[in-house]
Chains A and B, each alone.
Chain A
């Protein structure tokens, strides 16, 4: 089955700096790669996703890149703000069905 590894497990940045979280996956058939933000006591919220036919996608301060050959994808957050502090999960799936999640990254943005 699919295996998703996520790094780092914790990340602390100063407000205004950039944050990068990286994930690798094992199943070359995976073609959908979403990123979720989970705040304490809440369910994950989709923040951005990318399909395998695209190499990069950007939405304001958030961007995701995908390297299919190397089987890795990354989340980039620029100009971080304290409200970006949360746990971020990457995932991989074939379609939006049964997803395999990374172990999560706890991002702390210091004001």
Chain B
């Protein structure tokens, strides 16, 4: 089945530094990937839609200069948290859908990245 790999699974960084998270579709090409943020015991909050070869579409309230998204190939999207602060600590998850339309290709999620900013 379709597999989405996310790396790293966890990262600890110091306040003020930047962190890059990778999301790869291992056995399919994804023109669109989605990035979510999840706080403890809460639902998934969509941050942005990553589009291969074009700019990402950010949800209202999400700072595009803070959360840089690059979707340079059909199998890789990256999320960079710039100048991280403790309030950016969270669980970040990506998802992607194989081509073919939703009828045959539901969303598949990565295993998430636990970011802790000290």
Restricting to B18-63, which residues have a CB under 8 Å from any CB of A? 32, 34, 41-44, 46, 49
User: Given A41-B114, A96-B97, A97-B32, are A89 and B106 neighbors across the interface (CB < 8 Å)?
Assistant: no
Asked whether B110 lies within 8 Å of A43 as measured between CB atoms, the reply is yes
Instruction: Let me know if A95 is at the binding interface, CB within 8 A.
Output: yes
**Residues of chain B at interface, number, CB under 8 A:** 25
Asked whether A34 lies within 8 Å of B106 as measured between CB atoms, the reply is yes
30 A-B residue pairs with Cβ-Cβ distance under 8 Å, sorted by A, are: A32-B106, A34-B106, A41-B112, A42-B111, A43-B4, A43-B6, A43-B93, A43-B109, A43-B110, A43-B111, A44-B109, A45-B109, A46-B106, A46-B109, A51-B102, A89-B43, A95-B101, A95-B102, A96-B102, A96-B105, A96-B107, A97-B32, A97-B49, A97-B97, A97-B102, A98-B34, A98-B46, A98-B49, A102-B43, A103-B43
> A residues near B, CB below 8 A?
32, 34, 36, 41-46, 49, 51, 89, 93, 95-99, 101-104, 106
